[in-house]
Structures are given as structure tokens and as C-alpha cells.
Amino acid sequence: MEANASNNNMQQSHSHSCLEITMEVHKVVPPPPTSSLKKLKTRLKETFFPDDPLRQFKGKSLKKKWVLGAQYVFPVLQWGPNYNLKLLKSDVVAGLTIASLAIPQGISYAKLANLPPIVGLYSSFVPPLVYAVLGSSRDLAVGPVSIASLIMGSMLRQEVSPTKEPVLFLQLAFSSTFFAGLFQASLGLLRLGFIIDFLSKAILIGFMAGAAIIVSLQQLKALLGITHFTKQMGLVPVLSSVFHHTDEWSWQTILMGFCLLVFLLLSRHISIKRPKLFWVSAGAPLVSVILSTLLVFAFKAQNHGISVIGKLPEGLNPPSWNMLRLHGSHLGLVIKTGLVTGIISLTEGIAVGRTFAALKNYRVDGNKEMMAIGLMNMVGSSTSCYVTTGAFSRSAVNHNAGAKTAVSNVIMSVTVMLTLLFLMPLFQYTPNVVLGAIIVTAVIGLIDIPAAYQIWKIDKFDFFVLLCALLGVIFISVQDGLAIAVGISIFKLLLQITRPKTVVLGNIPGTNIYRNLHHYKEAVRVPGFLIWSVEAPINFANTTYLNERILRWIEENEAEEDEKKQPSLHFLILDMSAVSSIDTSGVAFFKELNQTLENKGVELVLVNPLAEVIEKLQRADDIRDFMMRPESLYLTVGEAVASLSLTMKGQSSSSV
Amino acid sequence: MEANASNNNMQQSHSHSCLEITMEVHKVVPPPPTSSLKKLKTRLKETFFPDDPLRQFKGKSLKKKWVLGAQYVFPVLQWGPNYNLKLLKSDVVAGLTIASLAIPQGISYAKLANLPPIVGLYSSFVPPLVYAVLGSSRDLAVGPVSIASLIMGSMLRQEVSPTKEPVLFLQLAFSSTFFAGLFQASLGLLRLGFIIDFLSKAILIGFMAGAAIIVSLQQLKALLGITHFTKQMGLVPVLSSVFHHTDEWSWQTILMGFCLLVFLLLSRHISIKRPKLFWVSAGAPLVSVILSTLLVFAFKAQNHGISVIGKLPEGLNPPSWNMLRLHGSHLGLVIKTGLVTGIISLTEGIAVGRTFAALKNYRVDGNKEMMAIGLMNMVGSSTSCYVTTGAFSRSAVNHNAGAKTAVSNVIMSVTVMLTLLFLMPLFQYTPNVVLGAIIVTAVIGLIDIPAAYQIWKIDKFDFFVLLCALLGVIFISVQDGLAIAVGISIFKLLLQITRPKTVVLGNIPGTNIYRNLHHYKEAVRVPGFLIWSVEAPINFANTTYLNERILRWIEENEAEEDEKKQPSLHFLILDMSAVSSIDTSGVAFFKELNQTLENKGVELVLVNPLAEVIEKLQRADDIRDFMMRPESLYLTVGEAVASLSLTMKGQSSSSV
């Protein structure tokens, strides 16, 4: 829309008389010719390889290329050779810290997924090892996470009861994990990672808060000691179940649960207020497990209404590839569960990786991370692990504890291994109530009210999406809430295309600048011109609307003409600077518009059409001739107005 | 992007020395404050009432408002009072012409939908009367159409056999019609008419061609005289069915069919070559029905392998509201069929109405038309009619025959009524082969190869969508082909947002104009600046991409710096003219980008952010301070470059 110095002052009575040099009008040139194949190539590259991952290979020797390739697949080869004792020291501290968090959380989250507690520990052993070799984030602490556990448990429970058919349930869980991994790895391999972008931050905040509420409500079973609890997840059935079984409430459990909750929340509060004291909240779960276990053991509290975990098998992960059910009756359920848990855990893992990478100023390749997380889950599914990913809370602890590389995951994994081998009998008397308290403390951090308030302040529609996700999760179901929120977000995007913004421009007096009349109050309309700017691609979804809208502008203009407020319209200038693309419907739109305007005696002028638009208009036989004439094509609005004003004056003076 | 005359020539060594007056920089002002409620109101109005239908009521007296309101609901009140004998004369001619087409077509299309032939005549009697009162198009000829008939027949046949359970099939057809009407009327009433825009022209051309092929193949049954014909619709099963029953081929039928086809296609050809002879093709179907019926009657050909329609009941439409099955086992099927046939027939009706309105220079209100067509089908469903709409071929004949108002529909309707009352016995010996020939001739016009070629020429992706619709309809099923094509179109729209166009701008020498470096070859980069333009809203779907893309630009720039091809980067100018909106993710994007650039010692400058973008950036506490400073906010790229070049020079000269 810029205009040259010289040409606007013609029709405007300015003081700088020396500006009145010959008017220069800049031509709109067609873009340099490129073949369809080359265009397709560029398009595919921008779609699937925006980060140009092969860039680093350019101009390197063959050997170097091999080394770089191996480093690309196994990031461990990048930092491994430079690893030293100092880094190891930091990683050991961080690894032990997250292990103390991972063991109680692993047991708790497995219960959340209706799986045997031991599976939570298995899942904290193998996947971190795989990630240490394949993953590119230095801060991610890998293991089971609350939301994916919740979703897997609730989706599988719709068809199979974990208490009546525990083996089948376990088989389905491993199979879902396999499909989750397969799906994640495929997304990365096919470079379709952008699909997770559709889970916007607003959706995630609402979704996480809803899930946290659902998860916390489920813990009322453990915290109140209720034995007959509903199998449903919704707010209403859970609350009614709680208050219909008040006779089952156990005061011993409630007392213990209350004390543990206060302790855990307090330690969490301390760590939030003073980040240096991160170890307080990191160690608190393990401390409360030990304390509550000792208490139960000392007072034989299991006989006084406090339920305990019970005996857990010793030993490392048994193989489970023979348990994968990749065909048969529950295949649909397993694939669906894998898809939903896969995408949710992927979103969390990638977001966590990116957050800490940004903090430490290194980069994480999203598509590569997806492959790493996917492979990790596929390996996990055949070694008795369920869905794992990088957890936000644990990675934060890892980061604060000074983790330098993925070795901290290895340390954690080794610690879990030792626990599995030697310490399992100690958990026999661990009360379920402490697991409930640990889960509640963990998920309460997912309710991010300040972020929700910021979203409310900035964008009301995003807040609406957030609310939909939140309420959908609480009142309908976890996966439906998510689907509704994503659906609404996509509907909004489509609506933005279907009803694009259109703006009438006016001249800012004394300049060559044309801006929105409603925004820049000093801007004035140029008599005889309607200057219109469309701010979206013109395509099948909006040509009908644009046609109606433009006719309304012209009719409003005619109404004003009748009231003698406006001289009659001669030119409709369409500023195309923001029309990034066009399709066949868009081409037809111009044909029709030109026809309509001709009937009304108005001339259509295009300003600054972009390369793609020019190309497509040129290719349409019946439009090229009248749209691509130099007299109806200008580079800037200023030049168009200046040049056309002259012809207008010429006409009116000759007719006088 | 325009810039004032005075300020660019500072840093460029131009000849006009008198231009060096004091540099004037125009401020970006925040848009005038509007409440969220008012914004919502404007947004809703633009979304649902872009044509502002209440505009005509403004400032009118109460009585006038009532009259206008009644005219709005019943367009017949607009043209009725001025109706005269001359108009009637034209309408009678047109009405009789389309009746001669409607009677054989009605019988044929009903057979296509697996319904008794008489239903096709019923459907040509009541709906046109309803439309004459409610519809606003003057050229639409209402009745059953081939594609909706095909879809209804094939969808219902998936669950219910029309030969084994004819009554149930009929009930389902009427119920589907009711839901189709309900859906159409609701779309109009809720002003959601834009939904049909998602059936782009490319999709429709592919879909119609595919449907025409499917329909023509189905006619091989009648044209070859096969009795054992497949119940499936796909290309493969139909062809294999045809060639597995060569023993059933009847030479008498084939001979008659061939002659009739040649006659009909020839008359169609004549009318296409000479539009004035429209009556040749309009009358040909009736002539061939009469001729073939006489032939059969004379030679008793029904005993020689030529199948005939058989006895049809006399009398007008029986009521059918007691046949509507609005609950029960087949409800899902009925609703789905209603939805698909409803939207397809609506699309055809609206498109036809708009086409002829544009030709005669009057306007058709899409949402109002939808209500008229919807009500017509709801009334139809309770008077033994199945789905009807404005058919393209018949409306073209109506237009060519000189129809002036909807009275031509009334004339047609009366003619059909007389046929129903008195002429039904005459159809007893009408051979099925003539119906097949009529259908083939009618649908062959739906294959629009020149239009497909135009689409191929203009937009390869649109052609790809067309092909998907075509092949999907032929090889999978009618509704799946349609769904796939719509899905791909929407995916493309989303991809345009997920991967928006981004462009590096350069200065066109000697001007203040900045344009795409790849398009305008004369444009040059300004040293020390990276001028970047994003041509899409910035939102959750593309912030990750934009971040990666911008980093790549900067890194490429750094690589060039190292090779001493470029001076180091000082400023990243983001031209926001084409960023029509932004959401919370977009706001976060700016925060992150600013952080990244600061680390690299590059300053971020925004040019011409639009009203919505300014508002949202202002509302974010942590961004407002650094993004909304006057020194990083300019109205045009030219002014930004001019002003920042000065500071850059100032810095470098002071550091020397």
C-alpha cells in the first residue's frame, strides 16, 4: 500500500510545490514463472519440513553426513562423548530426587488407571531408559502421568471391568499403549506433528483443570475410605455416590488423609514460594509414604478400617508382547483409547520439552520428540508398561534439582529397578489413602486460575473454549470434553474464513496512507471511490458472503448519494494486500463482481494482488482480459486514487 | 504500508533534495474503545445477517412495516398485485412446456429412487404450489431431481428392500423427506445457510459427474432389459452384473432404447446449439413417451420382452402424514438420509435460483429460499411427495420458455393434476426403457467437462478435490464421495491457517514501497533489516510454525553474515497489515519471539497492527510494555525503516 513520494500530492493541495513532478505509477508485475511441480515441492516443504531438518547436512562430507545422521537419530551421541564427572554429579542428584517422586507417583497413577500398582513402577523403569537414548530434551523426566492414566482407565472401563476381568483389562491397557506409541511415532515420522497444535493453550488449561477436578473427586474413595464407589467419572454420579455411602466413611482414614494432605500441600506451597526449596515438595510424597506405612505397620491399622496396597510381586518387568491384543473384539476400543491417550500424553511431553528448552536456550525438534516418545511407548507396551510421557511436575523438579542431561532419567530408572528388586515388601502396608493424597496434591497444580484469568482478559472467545473443555470434561466425559473444545476451536477458524474481515479504507489527510475508517478517526473517504480491503483468502467458503457484503456497501453508498451526502461512486478499489490466496470460486467471484459493478456503472480496480492471485486470474480466460488490464491494476492504493482521480476529472471536465 | 512523501528519502540518496524536510512519523493509534457486548453484536450480525435483511424496514411506518413483513414471508404479495394478462400468457406457455418435461421426468426419477412412479407425479403437483407462494425466485421450476432421487434410493436401500417391504420403504422415503425439509427450513431460520457454501463448485462438478455416471449405469438395467440386476451402486458391481447376465439382454429392448436415446440426445444437441429451439429438447421426452407407448400398445410388445410400467392408480395425492416414522428403529437412517438429500437438493435449488437471478438482475435471499424449500418439503412429506427442489435443467427450460413469475409453476402443477386425474391409464403400456433413456439424457448434462478443464487450468488443488468427489462417488458411495471431498476442502482451509504464507519484503528502489522479494525482482533487501510479512491470523494453529519459520530466516541471515554477504541484523520488522486477528496463543507468540530476538540482539518492530491485534496486545500485561512502545510501533514499513535507520546510524557513528 505504500506509494511513491510524488504522485499523491497531485489531487491534494499541499504546500510543497516542488513535489509536483511527473506522476510515476508503478506496475504490478506477474510473478516469475514457476512450474506446478516446483510450487508443489515448495508447498510440501513448508507444510512438512518448515524447520528444514536437512539444512545441517548441506555441503558436508559423506562421513560427516553419516555422523550427523546417527546423531540425529540418537541424540545421546551428541552429548555422550563430552559427558564428564561434573555433569554426572548433577545428574545423580537430580535422578535421585525425581526417583523419590516417581516411585509413589508411579504407584498412585497406576491405581488411577485401574491397573495393578506395580505396573506404575514398571512404567518408571523401562521408558526412561529408552528416552535417554532417543530423546532430545535434557530436562524431561519420563514416567506415567495423571491425565493419560485417568483417560486410559476411564475409557477402558466403559467396556471391561478391571475387577472382574483383570487380565483382559491389563491386556487392553498394554495394547492401547502400543497403539498410542504407534500413533505418536507415525505422527513424528509423517511429520504431522502440527496436529497437536490444535490443542490450543486455552483448551489445555480448561481440560487440565477439568481433569484435575475429576481425578480429585475419584480420590474421595481413598480419602474417605469408601468401599462401594461409583464406576462413573462425572461430577454428579461421584458426588451422589459419596453422599449415599456416608455410613462407609472411616474416621481413621479421613484423619490420616487430612493430615497427609495438609503436609503435602504445605510442602508444595513452600516449594512454590521458594523455588530453591524444590526438594521439600519433591521429597514430601516419599516421606509421607514412609510415615504412613510405618504408622499402619505400628498400629496394625489395616485392621481398623484403613485399606492398604497389599503384597506386590518382586522382580523386574516381565515381558508382555504376548499380551498385546492387536485384533479381535476390543480392537476398536483399544485403538480409540490409544489415539486419545497418545495425543494427550504427546501434547504434554512436547509442551514440557519446549518449555524447558526455551528456558535453557536450546531447541527441541517436535517431530523427532514424537518419534522418541512413540518408540518409548511401543517398547514399553511389550515390557509391561502403560502409557508414559514427560510429566510437567516431575520435569520441573528435575530441572530445579540441576539435571544436565538425560542421564538423570537413567539414574531414576536404576533407582526404580533397585526398588523393584529389593524393596517391594516394604509397600505391603502402604495405605491407599496416602496414594489418594499424593494424586490430589499432584493434580491440584493443573488448575491454573491466573492463566485462565489472563485468557479471559485477552480473548473472550478463547475463554469460552476453555470453559467448554472444562465443563465438558466435568459433566460429560474426558474425551468428549476435549472433542467439543477442539471442534469449537476449528469452527472458529472456519468462521474466520467464512466471514472474513472486510474494511473500508480512508485517506489519512496529508499523506498517501489509507487506513480503516473506523480505527483511524482522522481518515477521510475519498469522494467517488469506495476503497475496500478483504483480510482473508477468497475461496469457496466466503465468496457468497463477500458478494453480499460488497453489494450492501454499494447500496449504502447509493442511499447516501440520494441524500446528497456523497457524490456518485465511480471506482471500487479492492486492496488485495491481505488476500493471501484464491481458488476457482474466488476467480469466479471477480468475474461476477465485475459484472455487477458494470451494471451499476462502477469500475473495479485491484491494488497489489499477490503472486498467487495474479497467476490464477491470468489463467482464467474470461477474466484475464478485463482484470489484468494495466488501467485496473495498481501497486498501491495511493497511486490508484491519484491516477484514477485524474481520469475522473478529465471525464467530468470534458463532459462539461 | 503507505508512507508519507517526506521520510523515506532520508536514508536513500535521491535526487529530489527539496524532499528533505523534517521527518514526520505517523502514530499507530489504538482503536476507539468498544464494549465486548457491542463487539459480539457486530460479530453476530456479520456472521448471521451479512445481508442485513431488516434494512428495508428502517424508518418506515408501522403499517408499511407490516406490509413489508408480509411480503418478506410471502413473496407472492410482492408481484401478485401487479400481475396481468401479458405476464400470464408468458407463464402459461412456460408452464405447459415444463409440464411436458416434468411428467416423464417425475415418473423416471421416482423409479430412480426405487419409489412407485406415481410418487414422482405427486411430487410434481403439491410442492410447486407451495413454492409459488413462498419462493422468491421467478425462474425456479420445482419438482423431483435426479441426484437427490438417486441418493435417497441408494441410502434407504442399504437397510430396507424396496421390493420386499414396499410400504416400509415408502414410509422411510416420506420420513426422510420430512427431515430433509425440517433441516432445510432450520438452516434458513437459524441463518446457517453458509453451510452449503462448503460444497464448493469443484466438489459439485466432480460429484455431479460421478452421480451422472452412477445413474446412467443404473439405467443399463432398463436399457438392456436385464431382470436380475445388482442392488449395489458402484461402478464395479454394476458392470460385472451387466456382463454376467448377457443371456438376459433383450434385443427388442436394446433396439428401442437405442433409437430413443439417439432421438433424445439429438434433440438435446439441437437445443444446445440453438437456444431458441429449447422446445425441441423440452418436448422430446413427452414425444418419446407417447411414441414408445403407442409402439408397445400396437405390437403388444410387452409380451416380447419389453417391460412396461403397468397400471398406475388414478387420483390426486393421498395424505401421508400417518406414514411418517419419526421414531423407532430406522430413525437414524431416516435422519441421515434426510440430512444428505436435504443439503444436496438445497445446494442445487439455491445455486439454480442464484444463477437465474443474476441473469435477470434480481436478488434471491439464500436463507429465505431455504425456508421456502424446507417448508415445501415438509408439506410434501405429508402429501405423498418425496424430496423436491429447483432442478437446473427444468428451470433452464422454464427460463427459455419465457417464464415471468412463479405462476408457471402453478400452471405446471395444474397440468400434472389433470394428468393425475384423467390420463393415468395412458401410461399403462409405457415401456421402462423410455424412462431409462430420459434419465440418461437428463443426467448426461451434469457431466461438465469444460468447467472441469477450467478448474484444472486455474487451480490444481481444486481439481484434485473434484477428482476425489468423482472417484469417491463412483467407487465408494455417493455420500462417502461427498464427505471425502468436503473433508479435503476443509483440511485445505485449515492447512492455509496452520501453514500461513510468510514473505520477506524488500524495497522497490526509488520508492517507499516494500514488496515480496521473490515476486518483485527489482526489490532489494535493506541492510540490517529483516522485513517479514505474515498473511494470516496468528493463532494456536500456527504459532509453533511461525516461531520455527522466523528462526530459520534469522539463522539463514546469520549464515549469510558469516559469509560476509550481509551486515548483521539489527531490526526484525513484522508487517502486520494482513494479520486480521489474533488469539491468546498469538499474544504469547509475540512474547516468546521478543525474548528470542533479545537473546540474539535483534529488536522487534511491528508495523500497522490492526484494531483487534492492538486491543489484545494491550490487554496482556506482560507484553503491553515492550510491544506497545511508540519506538517499536509504526504505521508503515517505509516510516519504520526511515526512522530506525537514523537511530542505527546514530549508534554506529557514536560508537566509532
Give residue-wise pLDDT tens across range A565-596. 667 888 999 999 889 889 888 988 988 888 88
With 60 as the cut, is the pLDDT of residue B21 above it?
Answer: no
For B501, phi then psi, to 5°, come to -70, 135
Same domain, B109 and B147: yes
Instruction: Residue window 123-182, chain B: list those with CB within 8 Å of chain A.
Output: none
pLDDT of A16 > 80? The answer is: no
| pLDDT tens-digit map of B109-130 | 998 899 999 999 999 999 999 9
Nearest CA in chain B to A29: B520
Query: In chain A, what residues touch B31 (CB-CB under 8 Å)?
Result: 518-519
Q: Counting every residue, how long is chain A?
A: 656
Say if residue B23's pLDDT is above 70: no
Of residues A273 and A177, more confidence is placed in A177
pLDDT band at A357 (very low <50, low <70, confident <90, very high): confident
Using an 8 Å Cβ cutoff, are B224 and B464 in contact? Answer: no
Residues A366 and A289 in one domain: yes
Whether residue B400 contacts residue B227, with contact meaning beta carbons closer than 8 Å, is answered with no
- Residues of B with Cβ-Cβ distance to A498 under 8 angstroms: 194, 197
Residue B571's DSSP bridge partners are B529, B603
Burial annotation B491-513 (CB, 10 A radius, 16+ → b, else e):
ebbbbbbbbbbbbbbbbbebbbb
Is residue B386 helix, strand or coil? coil
Please name every residue paired with B605 in a beta bridge, in sequence order, or none if there are none: B573
Domain total in chain B: 2
CB of B3 within 8 Å of a chain A CB? The answer is yes
**How many alpha carbons lie under 13 Å from residue A498 in its C-beta half-sphere?**
24
Position B166 pLDDT exceeds 60: yes
Greatest Cα-to-Cα distance within chain A, rounded to the nearest angstrom: 111
Check residues A12 and B259 and name the one with the higher pLDDT: B259
Asked whether residue B357 is domain-assigned, the answer is yes
User: B71-109: per-residue pLDDT in tens?
Assistant: 888 888 888 888 889 989 989 988 998 888 888 889 889
Which ipTM was obtained for this model? 0.83
Place of cell 469444460: B450
Q: Which residues pair with B531 in a beta bridge?
A: B573
Q: State the average pLDDT over residues B602-620.
A: 87
Pick the residue with more confidence: A561 or A125? A125
Backbone dihedral angles phi then psi of residue B160, each to the nearest 5 degrees: -130, 135
Rg (CA), chain A: 32
Are B157 and B230 within one domain? yes
Which residue reads 478463547 in cell numbers? A462
Asked whether the beta carbons of residue B496 and residue A580 sit closer than 8 angstroms, the reply is: yes
Nearest to B510 by CA among A7, A609, A606, A569: A7
Question: Contact A455/B584, CB-based, under 8 Å?
Answer: yes
Which residues, numbered 35 to 74 in chain A, qualify as contacts with chain B under a Cβ-Cβ cut-off of 8 Å?
A: 36, 40, 46-47, 50-52, 55
pLDDT at A342 over 90: yes
C-alpha to C-alpha distance for B116 and B174, rounded to whole angstroms: 12
What residues form DSSP beta bridges with B507?
A: B514, B524
- For residue B53, being part of any structural domain is answered with no
* Domain match, B592 and B466 both: no
Min distance A325 CA to chain B CA atoms (Å): 30
**Cβ-defined contact of B638 to A577 (cutoff 8 Å):** no
The answer on A517 and A476 residing in a single domain is: no
Residue B631: DSSP 8-state: G
pLDDT at A4 over 60: no
A484-513: average pLDDT: 88
**Inter-axis angle of helices B366-381 and B331-360, to 10 degrees?**
130
Residue A425: the pLDDT is 85
Separation of alpha carbons B55 and A555, rounded Å: 11
Q: Tell whether A339 is covered by a domain.
A: yes
Q: For chain A, what is the mean pLDDT? A: 85
Residue A336 confidence (pLDDT): 93
Indicate the pLDDT class of residue A65, thresholds 50, 70 and 90: confident
Q: Does the residue B13 lie in any domain?
A: no
Is residue B437 exposed (0-12), middle (13-18) or buried (19+ Cβ within 10 Å)?
buried
Distance, in Å, from the CA atom of A642 to the CA atom of A646, rounded to the nearest integer, reads 7
pLDDT computed for residue B653 by the predictor: 54
Instruction: Report how far apart, in Å, the C-alpha atoms of A185 and of each of A338, A370, A372, A376 are.
Output: 12, 6, 7, 9
State the pLDDT confidence band at B20, using cuts at 50, 70 and 90: very low
Closest by alpha carbon to A291, among A438, A443, A120?
Answer: A438
pLDDT value of residue A339: 93
Rounded Cα gap, residues B580 and B534, in angstroms: 10
Query: What average pLDDT does range B19-48 have in this prediction?
Result: 73
Say yes or no: A559 and A440 in one domain: no
The answer, for A525 touching chain B at a CB cutoff of 8 Å, is no
Residues of chain B contacting residue A637, judged by C-beta atoms under 8 Å apart: 2
Q: How far is B502 from chain A (nearest CA, A)?
A: 9
Among residues B492, B523, B554, the one where a domain terminates is B492
**Facing A26 at nearest CB: one of B26, B489, B508:** B508
The answer for A 299-358 residues in CB contact with B (under 8 A) is: 358
Residue B447 lies in a domain: yes
Separation of alpha carbons B639 and B644, rounded Å: 8
**pLDDT surpassing 90 at residue B415:** yes
Last residue of one domain, picked from the residues A492, A521, A549: A492
pLDDT band for B399, please (50, 70, 90 cuts): confident
Going from the C-alpha of A515 to that of each of A512, B257, B508, the distances in angstroms are 10, 66, 22
Is the CB of residue B134 less than 8 Å from the CB of residue B366? no
Which has the closest alpha carbon to A443: A184, A211, A120? A211
DSSP of A267-302: HHHHHHH-GGGHHHHHHHHHHHHHHHHHHHHHHTGG
B467 plus B513 within the same structural domain: no
pLDDT of residue A18: 36
Same domain assignment for residues B433 and B506? no
Do A482 and A607 lie in one domain? The reply is: no
Residue A434 lies in a domain: yes
The SS3 assignment for A241 reads helix
Residue B591 has pLDDT above 70, yes or no: yes
Q: What is the DSSP string of B353-389?
A: HHHHHHHHT----HHHHHHHHHHHHHHHHTTT----E
Looking at residue B620, which CATH number applies to its domain?
3.30.750.24
Q: How far, in whole angstroms, is CA A96 from its chain's centroid? A: 31
In a domain, B92, yes or no: yes
- Does residue A7 surpass a pLDDT of 50? no
Whether residue B465 lies inside any domain: the answer is yes
CA A284 to CA A440: how far, in whole Å?
Answer: 13
Task: Provide mean pLDDT across the span A433-448.
Answer: 86
| Beta-carbon separation of B36 and A460 below 8 A | yes
Please give the backbone phi and psi of residue B519, each rounded to the nearest 5 degrees, phi first.
-85, -50
pLDDT of A565: 63
Q: What is the DSSP string of B227-284?
A: SS--S--SHHHHHHHHHH-GGG--HHHHHHHHHHHHHHHHHHHHHHH-GGGHHHHHHH
Domain boundary among A492, A511, A541: A492
- Is B235 in the same domain as B354? yes
Put simply, the chain A residues between 564 and 623 with a CB less than 8 A from any chain B CB are 577-578, 580-581, 583-585, 587-588, 592, 595, 599, 608, 610-611, 616, 619-621
pTM of the full predicted structure?
0.82
Least confident of A445-449, B99-103, B279-283, B457-461: B279-283
- Backbone dihedral angles phi then psi of residue A14, each to the nearest 5 degrees: -100, 170
Instruction: Write out the residue range of the structural domain in which residue A324 sits.
Output: 83-492
Q: Quick one: B395 and B335 in the same domain?
A: yes
User: Are A488 and A505 found together in one domain?
Assistant: no
pLDDT at B409: 93
Closest Cα in chain A, distance from residue B548 (Å): 6
Give the model's pLDDT for residue B16. 39
Terminal alpha carbon distance of chain A: 33
Q: Are A393 and A445 in contact (CB under 8 A)?
A: yes
Size of interface A-B (CB pairs under 8 A): 275
Q: C-alpha angle B644/B648/B653, rounded to 5°?
A: 150
Q: Quick one: which of B88, B245, B210, B285 has its CA closest to B478?
A: B210
Record the cell numbers describing residue B142, joined without a space.
420445482
